[in-house]
Amino acid sequence: MNQNLESLKGRVSRLSVMIFDIDGTLTDGRIFWVPNSGWTQMYSVRDGMGIKRLQEAGLEVAAISGGDSLSAQMRMQSLGIKHVHFGSQDKVAHFEKLLELLKVTADRCGYMGDETVDLPLLKAVGFSAAPPEAPDEVRSQVHYVAQRQAGFGAAREVCEFILRHRQVP
């Protein structure tokens, strides 16, 4: 589904909401066991800065994740992301609730995910993105595939692409 630049510019120019998966998108997908603390992931400050820049530009940023960990909860809180759903088995259902809450249509939303479980939501939004490590089945269905790796700037790259090509209403 990867599209030409003009088509992509049209898609991102309409965005008012950008949603991220967490594990494998904002992280590299690895988890680490920390004694006396539990499981944790690593996050890139560069991705966080990209998210902050989207927020400063007036976009609402949200996260819908199939996983749930204290480190993910704390990271989303530290980024000021108000709309977060953890442990989602049906991401489209949570997406539809978010549309209702924010009073926005699906074509004004973007989603970045990395797994086949993300495909229904990736297909439902106006702009979809994936990191390069996503399976072929996912990469072939999104509008934009980042060059940088997940957890190492892929989300920042997507944020910068949006900011570079978005028309402010």
Instruction: Give, for all 169 residues of the chain, the pLDDT tens digit.
Output: 556 888 899 999 999 999 999 999 999 999 889 898 888 899 999 999 999 999 999 999 999 999 888 889 999 999 999 999 999 889 999 999 999 999 999 999 999 999 999 999 999 999 999 999 999 999 999 999 999 999 999 999 999 999 999 865 4
Could you tell me how far CA 133 lies from the centroid of its own chain?
A: 15
Overall number of domains in the chain: 1
Interior angle at CA 22, CA 115 and CA 97, nearest 5: 90
pTM for the whole structure: 0.93
Consecutive H or E run containing 145: strand 144-145
CATH number of the structural domain spanning residue 124: 3.40.50.1000
Specify the DSSP class assigned to residue 133. Answer: T
Q: Give the model's pLDDT for residue 90.
A: 93
Q: Give the model's pLDDT for residue 1.
A: 52
Nearest Cα residue to 123 out of 137, 135, 108, 111: 111
The number of CA neighbours under 13 Å toward the Cβ of 167 is 7
Q: Give the model's pLDDT for residue 51.
A: 98
Q: Give the model's pLDDT for residue 16.
A: 96
Q: Give the model's pLDDT for residue 169.
A: 47
Full DSSP string of 6-33 = HHHHHHHHT-SEEEE--TTTTS-S--EE
Block residue for tokens 């996260």: 63
Q: Residue 46 sits in which domain range?
A: 5-165
CA 143, CA 121: separation in Å to the nearest integer?
Answer: 13
Q: Give the model's pLDDT for residue 39.
A: 83
